[in-house]
Amino acid sequence: MNDETADDERNNTFYKTLLLRHGDSHQSLNWGSALSQQQRFKVLAEVGINAGESILDVGCGLGDYYAWLKTHYSGINYTGLDLTPAMVDRAQKRFPEVEFFKGTILESSNLMGMSFDHLMASGIFCLRQYEPEKYLERTICEMFSRAKKSVAFNTLSSWTSEKDDREYYADPLRLIEFCRSLTPWVTMRHDYHARDFTIYMYKNKTS
């Protein structure tokens, strides 16, 4: 087992344990509150999604983002992906009308050849321990390669004064520079929460 695979297993075990303890709750996703989880959903959606478009939720957890989207947009073509099998199984039971896949976007054979209007990721980088910056960059590259219109993701911010040694905090300016190596159309949102930020990446300026 290489270090990245071990990191996947740590995350899998962590979230499986939370799910067994908390069930269908924001606590199973390690969010501080349902309000903060939904606040991040709103910011991600503000990348510019429209009714009828396709979305891949990378690190979908229990499918809560799908539930949120249903109340705000009509006809969204949603697909979920998560590395924790127990989460995927539970999400599929909650929402049998949509498709959920197991794995990460870096290795899921189920997504071979698939692309989406928008790819979203919320909270999937905070517990990475093995070369977290490289993992984040590889994930962003893969997400952007599959996007027809945009990518939106959030991560903990190194600008916060409240840090936990067990969590990964990305440097906002360094991350923007990396994203700009993929596209000139990049926006950062650091205005909604003290501890994290969201980046939007567009395929072109009209997206």
Q: Where are the beta strands (DSSP E) in 26-113?
A: 54-58, 77-82, 99-102
Answer for the pair 189, 171: CB distance below 8 angstroms, yes or no. Answer: no
Q: In whole angstroms, what is the distance from residue 155 CA to residue 187 CA?
A: 14
* Distance separating alpha carbons of residues 121 and 60, to the nearest angstrom: 8
Q: How many CB atoms lie within 10 A of CB 182?
A: 17
**Alpha carbon of residue 106 to chain centroid:** 13
What pLDDT is attached to residue 77?
Answer: 96
CB 68 within 8 A of CB 39: no
Task: Write out the two tokens for 81.
Answer: 């992906």
Q: Which of 24, 59, 28 is nearest to 41 (CA)?
A: 59
Residue 71 is encoded by which pair of tokens? Answer: 């109340």
Of 195, 175, 194, 196, residue with least CA distance to 186: 175
Cα–Cα distance for residue pair 40/56, rounded to 1 Å: 16
Beta-sheet strands, E only, within the chain: 54-58, 77-82, 99-102, 116-121, 147-156, 186-189, 196-202
> Token pair for residue 188?
């950062």
pLDDT recorded at residue 176: 97
List the chain domain ranges: 3-202
Tell me the two tokens of residue 10: 């740590």
Q: What is the mean pLDDT of each run of 10 residues along the chain (207 residues)?
A: 84 90 87 86 95 96 95 93 95 96 85 92 94 96 96 97 92 97 97 94 80
Per-residue model confidence (pLDDT) at position 162: 87
The encoded tokens of residue 147 equal: 């996007």
- Spatial contact of 188 and 197, defined as CB atoms under 8 Å apart: yes
The domain 3-202 having CATH identifier 3.40.228.10: the answer here is no
Quick one: pLDDT at residue 206?
A: 63
Tell me, what's the pLDDT at 112?
81
Query: pTM of this prediction?
Result: 0.93
